[in-house]
């Protein structure tokens, strides 16, 4: 869709009333400007009465702002974050002073806090405070009408803030208070500043509630708006000058905010990610990637700068900043996930499974961030089950990295160390070391918005590793990267995970990642373990059609018979090594084991089907041919482009496929 809208002439029926509305709003302002006696403005505004009222107005409005911040910030936080009964009522209560006529507000304040009001006698008896006819009364009146601006603006900003920022900060070791002051508050700052400015401007202009509740005593409660009202009777020119002053202040606030009062935190935008499609989907590619990376690893000593490390990393980057601890993992997870996980220090486990299988829920349970699943978790000798997320030493890299947008790459990376009270200089030095190890040392001063998707991911990883975790959780760490960057970062990741003394869980949908990065593949289905085995075992004997297909294999479920498998369609598959008859099984056929022929093949293969080519796709230097048949499920064959040309294969070609019985592996389900 084009980003440029064609300029169209607005329909007259809309344009006319809209213009009238603008004129309606503009005319009174023009009146003030037109009637101002410009030569006298200085005299009017410096008269003792006006100076006194201005001083009082500033005093009252700043106090009202202070009170609004003190009470309104927690209230906005409560409304945005905590589910509780009666929230709609509280929100209406907050908004009420905005729609209530201010004089009614003043009456209500009198009946609540006045001398004969509900709380007044107690305030007077206990503290000697009498609000009406006192400056404090003017402050209360201004706070009453102005605080809603702060609360709704901040609530909007907090609501728009993705919680993964705060959760990541907690996983890096920051206490809730630290998270609030170092992440939440800076990220909602635009909303907070806008709300505060509007609150102040509203308090400065308050009239009705103040005159009703606090009276109109010069020097005590007579603020500028009240003075304007008085001056209008005796000195209309002076009233115009003071009105002009208030108008200028109000306009200045609005112009400074430029519409930011909607409260959307500008900083909430995650670092731009250059997303591309999912990764290659064949086990061969995975194997090729492993081979490539093994070669790379040979050339790159562990701990040294990676292949993509960026030029000029200093030699000290080769020092190992891992603190040398070894933390085996034991987890019993209950709830949506029902599984037990044991892993030796240094194990990398790829967590795979269909959408909704419970991968993210498992990670969040280990972090202690979800009530949907509970993890009894032991890391090394420490049982961390009862500890809050920030004390578990479980670092989490969510899918989008969740780099704090208001901090530089360096400050992001140092965040976990600072949270653990490492002195600033040392934390920054160690953070720089990690950035260099991950090949992004030269980007230390950049903000996340100035990083590419790949760079941001590496910074996020550096940040997690720098926090000295005992368990590392990576949620699709490479999903957002293009193929080339993905291969590089994968290599970097492997190098650094090799030195990590804890367990690392990587959620992935990419078979290359699962096979090449992990020592074990944990396959989840409905929150439970379907398979937990080394990648080679999962590739050879996948225990679910989904995993098999994810790894690029053909997977046909069926019922074991004496010589092979009976397919649900009624067809048969002959295998060399049969399973006990009647058991449910999965036949795994590598696409390279499927032969494609133009005519029915003669000779040994017993599994022969007639079909037609439905799709031909290129995968690396080979072609994958999808053949549909009436007698068997769809079958993918992998052949060379030369073979395809010889056979004259195009979409729709009639072909025969065959698979030797020895090439089929049956896996009992
Ligand atoms: N907050 C929640 N409340 C209720 N159900 C939820 C919540 N979050 C997730 N679920 C459900 O729990 C199940 C597991 O979700 P989870 O996000 O862990 O799956 P996943 O394996 O990570 O999926 P994906 O690959 O799509 O990210 C899904 O059925 C999902 O709909």
Residues 478 and 609 in one domain: no
Let me know if 275 is exposed, middle or buried by CB neighbors in 10 A (0-12, 13-18, 19+): exposed
Q: Is the CB of 361 under 6 A from ligand 1?
A: yes
Whether the CB-CB separation of 118 and 111 falls below 8 Å is answered with yes
Ligand 1, atom 27: nearest CA belongs to which residue?
A: 355
Q: Is the CB of 337 under 6 A from ligand 1?
A: no
Q: Which of 238, 265, 292 is the last residue of a domain?
A: 265
Q: How far does residue 372's CA lie from ligand 1's centre (Å)?
A: 10
In a domain, 327, yes or no: yes
Tell me the C-alpha distance between 623 and 639, whole Å.
5
Q: How far does residue 531's CA lie from ligand 1's centre (Å)?
A: 19
Ligand 1, atom 9: nearest CA belongs to which residue?
A: 361
Atom of ligand 1 nearest to the CA of 509: 25
Beta-carbon contacts of 129 under 8 Å, excluding residues fewer than 6 positions away, are 123, 136
Domains identified in the chain, total number: 3
Q: Which helix (H) or strand (E) holds 436?
A: helix 424-437
Atom of ligand 1 nearest to the CA of 353: 21
Residues 261 and 303 in one domain: no
Ligand 1, atom 16: nearest CA belongs to which residue?
A: 358
Residues 167 and 255 in one domain: yes
Q: pTM of the full predicted structure?
A: 0.70
Q: Which of 504, 523, 540 is the last residue of a domain?
A: 540
In a domain, 177, yes or no: yes
Whether the CB-CB separation of 328 and 344 falls below 8 Å is answered with yes
Whether the CB-CB separation of 226 and 210 falls below 8 Å is answered with yes
Of 630, 629, 632, 628, nearest to 566 by C-alpha is 632
Tell me the C-alpha distance between 142 and 153, whole Å.
18
Give CA separation, 471 vs 45, 155, 378, in Å.
66, 34, 10
SS (H, E, C) 401-413: CCCCCCCCHHHHH
Location of structure tokens 């001063």: 445
pLDDT for position 27: 93
**534 three-class SS:** coil
Sign of torsion over alpha carbons 420, 421, 426, 427: positive
Q: How far does residue 360's CA lie from ligand 1's centre (Å)?
A: 7
In a domain, 481, yes or no: yes
Ligand 1, atom 5: nearest CA belongs to which residue?
A: 372
Tell me the C-alpha distance between 32 and 36, whole Å.
6
Tell me the C-alpha distance between 393 and 377, whole Å.
12
Q: Which of 265, 298, 332 is the last residue of a domain?
A: 265
Tell me the C-alpha distance between 367 and 363, whole Å.
6
Residues 256 and 303 in one domain: no
Whether the CB-CB separation of 94 and 151 falls below 8 Å is answered with yes
Ligand 1, atom 29: nearest CA belongs to which residue?
A: 356
Give CA separation, 125 vs 62, 110, 229, 350, 553, in Å.
27, 17, 34, 68, 83
Pure H helices in 518-653: 535-540, 545-550, 641-647
CA angle (481, 485, 488) in 5-degree steps: 130
In a domain, 213, yes or no: yes
DSSP string, 148-189: HHHHHHHHHHHHTS-HHHHHHHHHTT--HHHHIIIIIHHHTH
Residues 636 and 508 in one domain: no
Q: What is the CATH number of the domain that holds 624?
A: 2.40.50.100
Residues 592 and 499 in one domain: no
Ligand 1, atom 18: nearest CA belongs to which residue?
A: 358
Q: Which helix (H) or strand (E) holds 27?
A: helix 12-35
Residues 481 and 607 in one domain: no
In eight-state DSSP terms, residue 662 is: G
Tell me the C-alpha distance between 547 and 525, whole Å.
10
Atom of ligand 1 nearest to the CA of 363: 18
Let me know if 661 is exposed, middle or buried by CB neighbors in 10 A (0-12, 13-18, 19+): middle
Location of structure tokens 């990576």: 474
Give CA separation, 19 vs 25, 27, 34, 251, 258, in Å.
10, 12, 21, 20, 21
Q: How far does residue 34's CA lie from ligand 1's centre (Å)?
A: 64
Q: Is the CB of 360 under 6 A from ligand 1?
A: yes
Q: Is the CB of 357 under 6 A from ligand 1?
A: yes
In eight-state DSSP terms, residue 259 is: T
Beta-carbon contacts of 70 under 8 Å, excluding residues fewer than 6 positions away, are none
Whether the CB-CB separation of 214 and 115 falls below 8 Å is answered with no
In a domain, 568, yes or no: no
Residues 236 and 287 in one domain: no
Take residue 288 and report the two structure tokens written for it.
């090729």
Tell me the sheet residues that pair with 559: 566, 584
Q: What is the CATH number of the domain that holds 305?
A: 3.40.50.300
Give CA separation, 584 vs 554, 565, 566, in Å.
17, 9, 10
Atom of ligand 1 nearest to the CA of 524: 21
Pure H helices in 509-629: 511-517, 535-540, 545-550
In a domain, 554, yes or no: no
Tell me the C-alpha distance between 60 and 65, whole Å.
9
Tell me the C-alpha distance between 383 and 386, whole Å.
8
Ligand 1, atom 19: nearest CA belongs to which residue?
A: 356
**490 three-class SS:** helix
Which of 339, 360, 506, 550, when mutated, tests ligand 1's pocket best, judged by the most ligand atoms within 8 Å of its CB? Answer: 360
Q: What is the CATH number of the domain that holds 176?
A: 1.10.3720.10
Residues 192 and 303 in one domain: no
Ligand 1, atom 4: nearest CA belongs to which residue?
A: 372
Strands 607-619 and 554-561: unpaired
Residues 510 and 437 in one domain: yes
Tell me the sheet residues that pair with 529: 524
Q: Which residues of the chain have pLDDT under 70?
A: 1-7, 258-324, 483, 604-605
**134 three-class SS:** coil
Q: How far does residue 276's CA lie from ligand 1's centre (Å)?
A: 23
Q: How far does residue 429's CA lie from ligand 1's centre (Å)?
A: 39
Q: How far does residue 508's CA lie from ligand 1's centre (Å)?
A: 15
Take residue 411 and report the two structure tokens written for it.
């400050």
In a domain, 570, yes or no: no
Q: How far does residue 384's CA lie from ligand 1's centre (Å)?
A: 24
Residues 247 and 334 in one domain: no
Residues 502 and 632 in one domain: no
In a domain, 199, yes or no: yes
Atom of ligand 1 nearest to the CA of 507: 22
Which of 167, 339, 357, when mutated, tests ligand 1's pocket best, judged by the most ligand atoms within 8 Å of its CB? Answer: 357
> Which structural domain range is residue 652 located in?
587-668
Beta-carbon contacts of 265 under 8 Å, excluding residues fewer than 6 positions away, are 157, 160, 161, 187, 188, 189, 190, 191
In eight-state DSSP terms, residue 55 is: H
Ligand 1, atom 31: nearest CA belongs to which residue?
A: 356
**559 three-class SS:** strand
Q: Is the CB of 359 under 6 A from ligand 1?
A: yes
Tell me the C-alpha distance between 147 and 69, whole Å.
8
Atom of ligand 1 nearest to the CA of 527: 14
Q: Is the CB of 261 under 6 A from ligand 1?
A: no
Tell me the C-alpha distance between 420 and 438, whole Å.
22
**587 three-class SS:** strand
Q: Within a 10 A sphere around the Cβ of 409, how many other Cβ atoms?
A: 30
pLDDT for position 47: 87
């Amino acid at each position: 869709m084009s980003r440029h809208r064609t300029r169209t002439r607005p329909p007259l029926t809309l344009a006319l009333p809209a213009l009238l509305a603008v004129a309606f709003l503009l005319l009174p302002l023009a009146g003030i400007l037109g009637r101002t006696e410009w030569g006298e403005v200085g005299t009017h505004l410096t008269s003792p009465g006006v100076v006194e009222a201005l001083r009082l107005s500033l005093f009252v409005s700043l106090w009202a702002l202070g009170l609004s911040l003190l009470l309104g910030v927690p209230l906005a936080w409560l409304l945005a974050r905590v589910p509780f009964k009666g929230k709609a009522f509280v929100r209406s209560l907050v908004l009420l002073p905005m729609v209530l006529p201010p004089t009614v507000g003043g009456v209500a304040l009198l009946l609540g806090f006045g001398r004969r009001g509900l709380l007044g006698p107690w305030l007077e008896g206990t503290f000697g405070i009498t609000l009406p006819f006192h400056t404090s009364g003017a402050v209360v009146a201004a706070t009453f009408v102005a605080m809603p601006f702060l609360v709704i603006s901040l609530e909007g900003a907090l609501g728009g803030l993705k919680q993964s920022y705060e959760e990541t900060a907690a996983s890096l070791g920051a206490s809730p208070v630290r998270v609030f002051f170092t992440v939440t508050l800076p990220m909602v700052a635009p909303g907070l500043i806008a709300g505060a400015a509007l609150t102040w401007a509203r308090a400065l202009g308050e009239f009705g509630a103040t005159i009703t509740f606090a009276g109109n005593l010069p020097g005590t409660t007579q603020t500028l708006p009240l003075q304007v009202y008085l001056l209008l009777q005796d000195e209309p020119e002076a009233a115009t000058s003071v009105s002009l002053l208030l108008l200028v202040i109000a306009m200045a606030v609005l112009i400074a905010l430029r519409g930011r009062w909607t409260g959307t935190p500008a900083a909430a935008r995650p670092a731009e990610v250059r997303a591309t499609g999912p990764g290659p989907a064949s086990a061969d590619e995975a194997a090729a990637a492993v081979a490539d990376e093994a070669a790379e690893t040979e050339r790159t000593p562990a701990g040294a700068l990676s292949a993509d490390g960026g030029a000029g990393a200093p030699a000290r980057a080769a020092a190992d900043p891992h603190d040398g601890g070894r933390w085996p993992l034991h987890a019993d997870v209950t709830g949506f996930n029902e599984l037990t996980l044991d892993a030796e220090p240094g194990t990398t486990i790829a967590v795979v499974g269909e959408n909704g299988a419970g991968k993210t829920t498992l990670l969040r349970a280990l972090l202690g961030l979800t009530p949907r699943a509970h993890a009894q978790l032991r890391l090394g000798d420490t049982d961390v089950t009862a500890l809050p997320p920030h004390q578990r030493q479980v670092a989490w890299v969510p899918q989008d990295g969740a780099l704090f947008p208001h901090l530089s790459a360096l400050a992001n990376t140092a965040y976990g160390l600072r949270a653990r009270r490492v002195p600033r200089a040392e934390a920054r030095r160690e953070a720089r070391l990690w950035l260099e190890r991950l090949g992004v040392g030269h980007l230390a001063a950049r903000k996340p918005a100035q990083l590419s998707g790949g760079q941001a991911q590496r910074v996020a990883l550096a940040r997690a590793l720098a926090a000295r975790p005992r368990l590392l959780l990576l949620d699709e760490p490479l999903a957002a990267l293009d193929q080339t960057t993905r291969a590089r970062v994968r290599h970097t990741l492997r190098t650094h995970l090799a030195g990590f003394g804890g367990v690392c869980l990587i959620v992935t949908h990419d078979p290359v990642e699962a096979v090449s990065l992990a020592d074990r593949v944990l396959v989840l289905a409905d929150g439970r373990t379907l398979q937990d085995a080394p990648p080679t075992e999962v590739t050879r004997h996948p225990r679910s059609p989904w995993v098999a297909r994810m790894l690029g294999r053909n997977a046909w479920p069926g019922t074991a018979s004496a010589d092979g498998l009976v397919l649900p369609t009624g067809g048969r598959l002959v295998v060399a090594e049969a399973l006990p008859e009647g058991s449910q099984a999965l036949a795994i056929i590598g696409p390279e084991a499927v032969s494609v022929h133009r005519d029915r093949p003669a000779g040994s293969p017993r599994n022969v089907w007639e079909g037609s080519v439905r799709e031909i796709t290129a995968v690396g230097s080979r072609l994958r041919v999808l053949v549909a048949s009436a007698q068997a499920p769809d079958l993918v064959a992998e052949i060379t482009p030369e073979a395809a040309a010889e056979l004259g294969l195009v979409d729709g070609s009639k072909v025969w496929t065959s698979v030797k019985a020895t090439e089929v592996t049956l896996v009992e389900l």
